[in-house]
Structure 1
Amino acid sequence: MQRELITFQVSGQVFALDIMQIREIRAWSPVTPMPRVPSYVAGVVNLRGTVLPVVDLAARLGWPATEATPRHAIIVCQVNGQAQGLIVESVSDIVTFDSETLQAPPSTGNDSVVPFLEGLAAIDDNMVMVLDLQALSSAEDGLMAA
């Protein structure tokens, strides 16, 4: 079965999300920080009258926090009927690949990224990490907008 993914970069690494989980891609706009939220929640933005929580994807994956600039983007995703934004360095391309070629991520022992991966895909000589939004946006974190 063929799948379409949108590829993007976070901390210099190539990631992807299923195109059906993405509502829109927004140009960077400053976020309003919120008190008492996890360290990887950058804050909130106004999305056409709706408060949208924005996650610093690099920080969520256990890497240093993003120093956002106007070159960054916010990918607005839909998970369990709720919207959230993900800060990424840049959005690259829409790619199609055969879902049977998706490989399970290797166990590396102390890797903070692996639990958030659906798998790895070899696309155009690149190893692309396909994110699992369900794992990334677990309900116990309370990140979702109402």
Structure 2
Amino acid sequence: MLLLTFQAAGQRYAVDASRVVEVVPRVRLRALPHAPAHLAGVLEYRGEVVTVLDLGLLLGAEPAPDRLGTRIILVDRAAPSPRRRRDAEAPEPAPAAVAGPPRRSLLGLIAENVDDLASVDPDDLTASPVAIPNAPYLGGMAEIESTMVQLILVEKLLNVSPNQHPTPAD
């Protein structure tokens, strides 16, 4: 499994690289009135309106600082399709039967120091020692370059109600 690592809320995290569509510079977002604080706004990406979350606020810390190293990771929330095994005996599908690419469901994640790809054996991911019901998007942990990195489960990021998130410490 290939992971894209980054920093948020003062800690190292990662997302499954198969979900990453693109990493773009931080841009001005259109705010959404009355949205929870961690919902930073929306941006337009190639004709699509994309919801953007600030991972710092989502994880109960300060917002991601506006620095040169702060980026927006565009991820596909839809489950990645398993690679289809080509069977030598299977006939080629007729061109009319081939559907277009599946519709993506993009989500933007504001993070700092989006800087590295790391290969991790899925069997080496350890479950979080504590189940946190208010943070279902926190997945397993792996040691990468002597640092504990926690996986963010992209498909579960928008499944959390706004009142489940802690506010930043004063």
When the two structures are superposed, what TM-score results if normalisation uses the length of structure 2?
0.73
Q: 1:121 to 1:42 in 2, by over 3 A?
A: same
Whether 1:93 and 2:112 are equivalent positions in the alignment is no
Asked whether the 8 Å contact 1:8–1:92 carries over to 2, the reply is: yes
Runs of 5+ unmatched residues, structure 1: 142-146
Counterpart Cα distance in 1 of 2:14 and 2:156: 14
Tell me which residue corresponds to 1:106: 129
Structure number with larger C-alpha Rg: 2
Tell me which residue corresponds to 1:6: 4
Bigger fraction of residues in strand = 1
Tell me which residue corresponds to 2:101: none
Counterpart Cα distance in 2 of 1:6 and 1:67: 20
Letter in 1 for 2:143: A
Asked whether the 8 Å contact 2:134–2:160 carries over to 1, the reply is: no
Counterpart Cα distance in 2 of 1:9 and 1:77: 16
Counterpart Cα distance in 2 of 1:125 and 1:102: 14
Whether 1:83 and 2:106 are equivalent positions in the alignment is yes
Letter in 2 for 1:66: A
CA RMSD in angstroms comes to 2.1
How far is 1:35 from its partner?
0.9
Letter in 1 for 2:127: A
When the two structures are superposed, what TM-score results if normalisation uses the length of structure 1?
0.84
Q: Which runs of 4+ in 1 moved over 3 A?
A: none
Pairing of 1:1-146 with structure 2 (within 5 A): 3-80=1-78, 81-107=104-130, 115-138=136-159
Asked whether the 8 Å contact 2:54–2:63 carries over to 1, the reply is: yes
Deviations 1:46-68 (A, max 9, x none): 21222111111111122222332
How far is 1:123 from its partner?
1.3
Identity over aligned pairs, percent: 31
Query: Residue 64 of structure 1 aligns to a residue in which SS?
Result: coil
Letter in 1 for 2:15: L
Letter in 2 for 1:56: D
Counterpart Cα distance in 2 of 1:132 and 1:88: 15
Q: 1:65 to 1:92 in 2, by over 3 A?
A: same
Number of residues paired by the alignment? 137
Runs of 5+ unmatched residues, structure 2: 79-103, 163-170
Counterpart Cα distance in 2 of 1:128 and 1:120: 6
